[in-house]
Structure formats: structure tokens, C-alpha cells
């Protein structure tokens, strides 16, 4: 009897020890836990996808067993994996693929742009649409008007999107087959840039872009196969992992893309996805045709709404005029382009989303746009109060103290941009006073407003260190600081990109910090961003990315 009892005790003890044994232990590191400001640890133990223990290397050693993988960090820094809550992911395809959209964000002259389009035209059947995305007129030396694009081809329709996503440029072929000429009126919520004779010059703003695809004469490139499309998305998402991003939000998901994400989630692809379904498909979510989902790899609980226009595209709607001459009048009387929806129309769609128990994530940049959105949210809450709705304002760019006061009162989450490095030079048109309240991260922090940050990729780069540095320094490539009073500390920026991102998607209890019980999503970097000169953050390298306790990227 005694012998049996001893045997049982040994079995139980061994079971307890084995159960305590970690799958992965990181030791001798500098771990930014975000438990509270300034909190650091040396080691972390991971088991079954979650963090088991955090503390000193000596304290965590007890979790090391025969099967444990142990990584000596040798002083390297660990922080939670970045949560980029607002992106527009697209599959990556080779240049030669007929369905490939040309990436134009690195093109630095008009001549280079035309040459790239000519190369694409040479391998594209006549009459078939050629597409590009991400041109920057500052880098090109001017807008790529129809006459410039005609130099690339007059035998193909050409459509290229601006880096803001709110403008596009077309060549004569595409304008003509869509019947766009000097008699075409500007649509509500949009505008055509025009030459001195009133003829559209090819640059189309906001809703005017929609008129470029009306013709049934457009020959579209063939679509990729399902296998090619999935491979293209995996390539994009693997690039994210290498850049330090472990969670992301797709800020306008179509029903077709939902299928791609469902397949990735079923495979446990090592990125956690939050899908914001485009408002055009709201009824499909309400009816259940697009299912609401909440699990560790996939979340569908939000609706992306667009009310307003572009900051970098200089079309957002303002109370005071832009600090630039309006070429149509010769005066400083340009206020941007009013949103297509009236206040009553906005109230109606916001109320419908809110009443369905869904989260609103609304694109609004200009102060007049943001006020309209807050009006609509407040009316919805008065009709059907929800204590923890966590409605979001995406970008939330041009603000003032009154707007921030309303945001705090209404418990709305601003999801601020931090793309000063790439696009900050475009913001001079807003004037010095307004530039101090563009993406007001420090003011929001001082007011106790929780905010998240995002890349809006491909509008700006998704690299974790690039985005962190941009939030801390607010410096353009040219060295100008935009809104110096809004610079925040590296640790506050890390929190906004990790814990606050998780809070924004109702997941703060499961990810976003390095604490026992949280999902083991973290990145290892070669230098501590809280200890280096802030301008050196750009040069910090992501060494390793861990998702669910598994190493999913390791720099060779």
C-alpha cells in the first residue's frame, strides 16, 4: 500500500514537473513587458502558445526541461509583436503576371514612371488595362497628367493610384472610353483636375475615380487562380512578419477576401487578423452571410465606413481654408471636398451599424468630417446606448481641443496615422497652427485618451521600426519635424502599436503585452528603442519574430 502511494506520488510529481516544462524560454534579455511604464524583465517562458512566466533569468530557469528550446538573447531587446490595426493588404505578384499591379511608391521621377509603364505595356496585350498604385507627385516632380501617361502608351488604358489612395491618374485612352471630357461634371464628393480650357487633365479625386471604371469597353487583366492568389497573400504576410508585425487589421475587407482569411486562419498562418468589413457589405454581416468570428487567429466584428477624404491627397474637408492658393480662383478659399454623405445619411448608417452591435471604424481626416462623425455616434448612443462600443476614428488627422474633448467624453478610439517620414512634406498646405494638431498623439496622451497607431499600408511602410521612429520623431525624409509638440516617447509609441492596438480590437486581455497568460507574440530587435538616440530607431533591425510561441521569422 505504502509502495503504491509512493509510486503514485512520484508519477504526480513528474507530471507536475513535465506540465511546468516550457516549450520555449528566452533568457538574458531586455524585455519591455508593458506591465507598467518602464517595467523590464530578463527572461520569458512560453508553453502551449501562451506566456507562462516572465521575470529574471534565474527565476525562469525552473521552466527549462529536456524538450525546452532555450534562446540566449545576449542582451537583445524583446517587445510585444506589433499590431497594425489598419492596413490594406494586397497579394504580391511578379512583374510579369498580367494581373500584377505595379508598385509605384519608390518611383522618383516622371521619366522613371513612364519607363516602368512602357515596360509593362510591352508585355500586355493592346487594349488591356495597366494598373499601378502608390505614386507620389512630390517625388515625381508633379502630377502624372494624361499627357505624361500618354507617353507610356496610347494603346492601353492606364490607371495609377496616388499614394493616399484618394486620387488616381488616367491616360487619354481610359478617359475617352469612359466618356470623360470637358462636359463631364464633378460628381458629389469628388472632382476632376482640369487644364486651362476646363478639360479633365487625368487626375481624378475621391468619387471621381469611380467614373474611370464605368465603361464596358475596358479589358481587365485575367484574375489569378485561387492558388496564385493565396500564395501572393502569404508572401505579403511573411514580409510583415519579417518587419515585426504579428497582428493586423484589413480596413476594407470584401466577401471574396474573407474567404482568403478564413483559409489562412484554418491553417493557423502565424498572423492574427482583424477584418473590418466594407460598409457596402453591411447587410451580409447583419444577415450572417458573412459570419461574425472571434478566435485567436481571426476576428470579424467591425465595419469600415468612409466619411471624408484624404489628408495627404489634400481633399479632406476643413472649417478653415487650406494654406494654399486655389488655382481655380487665385485665392486662399479652398476648404477641401465635402463628403458625399449628408449628416442625415451619415446618422442613418452609423445608427444601423451601432444597433447591430458592430464596431464602427470610420475614415475621417478633416475637422468638419470628424465633427459630423462624432455627431452621428452621439445620436446613435442616445438612441441605443452601448457601454463599451469602442467605435473608432481612422486617421483622425485634423483636430482641435474641442474634438479631442468629445472623443474622450464619447469613449471613441482615435486610430492615428504616423506617416510623417514618408508623407509629412505634403502637410505644409495645412499651415503651422494646424500642423501642431495633426495626429495629436501627445495631447491625447496627456488627456488620458487611449489611441492606436497604424501604417495604412501601402500608404506608408509597415515596418515596425519605421513606424515607431515616425511616431517618436515626426520627421520627414527631408528632415522637417511636423508638429514637434506631438512627439511621444518610444515606450508610449510601442504601447500604442501593441497594447492599444489589442484594446482597439477588444483583445487587450489576450495580447499586446508580455505577461503570463497572454499569447506569446513578440519580436526581438538588435537595439533597445527606448535607450538609443530617437533618430537611430529607424536603423534598428528585427532579428526574430515569435507568434504563438513559435519562431516564424529569423534573420540570417
Distance of CA 384 to the CA centre of its chain: 30
H-helix or E-strand containing 181?
Answer: none
Q: Where are the domains of the chain?
A: 2-75, 102-213, 226-308+344-509
pLDDT at residue number 9: 41
Q: What is the pLDDT of residue 19?
A: 59
| pLDDT at residue 105, as a whole number | 87
Q: Considering only CA atoms, which of 57, 195, 76, 116 is closest in space to residue 527? A: 76
Judge if 2-75 and 226-308+344-509 fold alike in CATH terms: no
**Dist. CA 89–CA 232, nearest whole Å:** 10
503 exposure class (CB count in 10 Å sphere: 0-12, 13-18, 19+): buried
- What's the rounded mean pLDDT across residues 242-257? 98
Is the predicted pLDDT of residue 14 greater than 80, yes or no?
no
Distance between CA atoms of 314 and 205, rounded to whole angstroms?
10
Q: How far apart are CA 68 and CA 282, in angstroms?
A: 47
User: pLDDT by residue (tens digit) across 87-141?
Assistant: 999 999 999 999 999 999 889 999 999 999 999 999 999 999 999 998 999 889 9
| pLDDT above 50 (res 170) | yes
The answer to whether 239 touches 208, Cβ cutoff 8 Å, is no
**2 confidence band (pLDDT: 50, 70, 90):** low
pLDDT, one tens digit per residue, over 259-295 is 999 999 999 999 999 999 999 999 999 999 999 999 9
Instruction: CATH number for 226-308+344-509: choose from 3.20.20.140, 3.40.50.300, 1.10.1530.10, 3.40.190.10.
Output: 3.20.20.140
pTM over 0.85: yes
- By mean pLDDT, which of 8-12, 300-304, 436-440 is the weakest? 8-12
CATH of 2-75, one of 3.40.50.150, 2.60.40.10, 2.30.40.10, 3.40.50.880: 2.30.40.10
Burial grade of 151 (CB within 10 A; 0-12, 13-18, 19 or more): middle
Of all residues in the chain, the percent with pLDDT exceeding 90 is 90
> What DSSP designation does 58 have?
H
Select from 350, 355, 354, 359 the least CA-distant residue to 299.
359
pLDDT tens track for 286-314: 999 999 999 999 999 999 999 999 999 89
* H-helix or E-strand spanning residue 336: none
Q: Which residues of 265-302 are buried (b: 16+ CB within 10 A; e: fewer)?
A: beeebbbbbbbbbbbebbeebbeeebeebeebbbbbbb
Mean pLDDT over 507-533 rounds to 98
Mean model confidence pLDDT for the chain: 94
Q: Which residue has the cell 510579369?
A: 96
Fold exhibited by the domain 102-213: Diaminopimelate Epimerase; Chain A, domain 1 (3.10.310)
With beta carbons less than 8 A apart as the criterion, state whether 355 and 376 touch. no
Is residue 163 a contact partner of residue 135, using CB atoms and an 8 Å limit? yes
Local confidence band at 372 (pLDDT 50, 70, 90 cut-offs):
very high
Task: Please tell me the predicted confidence (pLDDT) of residue 17.
Answer: 45
What's the pLDDT band for 3 if we cut at 50, 70, 90? Answer: low
Q: H helices of 356-506, where? A: 367-383, 401-410, 420-423, 431-435, 441-446, 464-473, 490-497, 499-504
Closest CA to 395 of 472, 307, 476, 324: 307
> What is the average per-residue pLDDT within 313-320?
95
| Burial (0-12, 13-18, 19+ Cβ within 10 Å), 222 | exposed
Residue pair 498/513 in contact (Cβ under 8 Å)? The answer is: yes
Dihedrals phi, psi of 194, to nearest 5 degrees = -135, 155
Q: What is the DSSP string of 423-455?
A: HGGGGGGGHHHHHTTBS-HHHHHHTT---EEE-
Q: Does residue 418 or residue 247 have the better pLDDT?
A: 247
Amino acid at each position: 500500500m505504502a509502495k503504491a502511494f509512493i509510486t503514485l506520488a512520484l508519477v504526480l510529481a513528474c507530471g507536475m514537473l513535465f506540465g511546468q516544462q516550457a516549450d520555449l524560454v528566452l533568457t538574458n534579455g531586455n524585455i519591455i513587458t508593458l506591465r507598467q511604464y518602464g517595467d523590464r524583465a530578463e527572461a520569458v517562458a512560453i508553453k502551449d502558445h501562451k506566456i507562462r512566466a516572465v521575470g529574471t533569468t534565474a527565476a525562469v530557469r525552473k521552466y527549462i526541461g529536456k524538450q525546452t528550446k532555450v534562446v540566449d538573447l545576449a542582451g537583445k531587446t524583446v517587445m510585444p509583436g506589433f499590431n497594425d490595426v489598419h492596413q490594406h493588404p494586397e497579394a504580391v505578384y511578379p512583374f510579369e503576371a498580367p494581373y500584377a499591379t505595379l508598385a509605384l511608391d519608390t518611383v522618383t521621377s516622371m521619366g522613371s514612371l513612364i519607363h516602368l509603364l512602357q515596360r509593362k505595356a510591352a508585355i500586355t496585350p493592346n487594349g488591356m488595362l495597366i494598373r499601378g498604385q502608390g505614386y507620389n507627385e512630390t517625388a515625381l516632380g508633379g502630377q502624372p497628367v494624361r499627357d505624361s501617361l500618354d507617353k507610356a502608351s496610347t494603346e492601353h488604358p492606364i490607371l495609377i493610384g496616388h499614394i493616399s489612395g484618394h486620387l488616381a491618374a488616367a491616360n487619354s485612352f481610359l478617359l475617352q472610353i469612359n466618356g470623360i471630357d470637358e462636359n463631364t461634371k464633378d460628381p458629389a464628393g469628388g472632382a476632376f483636375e482640369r487644364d486651362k480650357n476646363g478639360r479633365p487633365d487625368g487626375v481624378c479625386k475621391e468619387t471621381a475615380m469611380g467614373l474611370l471604371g464605368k465603361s464596358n469597353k475596358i479589358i481587365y487583366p485575367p484574375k489569378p487562380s485561387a492558388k496564385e492568389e493565396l500564395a501572393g497573400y502569404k508572401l505579403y504576410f511573411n514580409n510583415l512578419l519579417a518587419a515585426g508585425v504579428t497582428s493586423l487589421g484589413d480596413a476594407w475587407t470584401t466577401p471574396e477576401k474573407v474567404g482568403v482569411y478564413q483559409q489562412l486562419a484554418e491553417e493557423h498562418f502565424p498572423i492574427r487578423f482583424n477584418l473590418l468589413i466594407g460598409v457596402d457589405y453591411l447587410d451580409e454581416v447583419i444577415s450572417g452571410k458573412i459570419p461574425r468570428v472571434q478566435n485567436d487567429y481571426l476576428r470579424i466584428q467591425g465595419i469600415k465606413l468612409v466619411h471624408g477624404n484624404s489628408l495627404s491627397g489634400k481633399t479632406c474637408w476643413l472649417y478653415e481654408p487650406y494654406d494654399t492658393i486655389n488655382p481655380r480662383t487665385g485665392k486662399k478659399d479652398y476648404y477641401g471636398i465635402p463628403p458625399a454623405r449628408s449628416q442625415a445619411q451619415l446618422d442613418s448608417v452609423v445608427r444601423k451599424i451601432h444597433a447591430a452591435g458592430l464596431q464602427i471604424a470610420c475614415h475621417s481626416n478633416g475637422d468638419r468630417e470628424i465633427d459630423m462623425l462624432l455627431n452621428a455616434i452621439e445620436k446613435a448612443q442616445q438612441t441605443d446606448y452601448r457601454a463599451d462600443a469602442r467605435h473608432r476614428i481612422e486617421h483622425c488627422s485634423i483636430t482641435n481641443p474641442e474634438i479631442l474633448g468629445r472623443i474622450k467624453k464619447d469613449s471613441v478610439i482615435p486610430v492615428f496615422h504616423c506617416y510623417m517620414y514618408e508623407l509629412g512634406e505634403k502637410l505644409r498646405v495645412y499651415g503651422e497652427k494646424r500642423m501642431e494638431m495633426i495626429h495629436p498623439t501627445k495631447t491625447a496622451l496627456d488627456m488620458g485618451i487611449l489611441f492606436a497607431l497604424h501604417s495604412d499600408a501601402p500608404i506608408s511602410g509597415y515596418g515596425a521600426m519605421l513606424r515607431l521612429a515616425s511616431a517618436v520623431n515626426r520627421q520627414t525624409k527631408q528632415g522637417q519635424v511636423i508638429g514637434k509638440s506631438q512627439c511621444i516617447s518610444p515606450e508610449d509609441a510601442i504601447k500604442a502599436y501593441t497594447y492599444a492596438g489589442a484594446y482597439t480590437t477588444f483583445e487587450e486581455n489576450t495580447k499586446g503585452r508580455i505577461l503570463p497568460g497572454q499569447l506569446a507574440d513578440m519580436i526581438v530587435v538588435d537595439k533597445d528603442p527606448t535607450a538609443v538616440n530617437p533618430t537611430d530607431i529607424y536603423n534598428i533591425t528585427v532579428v526574430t519574430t515569435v507568434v504563438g510561441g513559435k519562431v516564424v521569422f529569423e534573420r540570417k
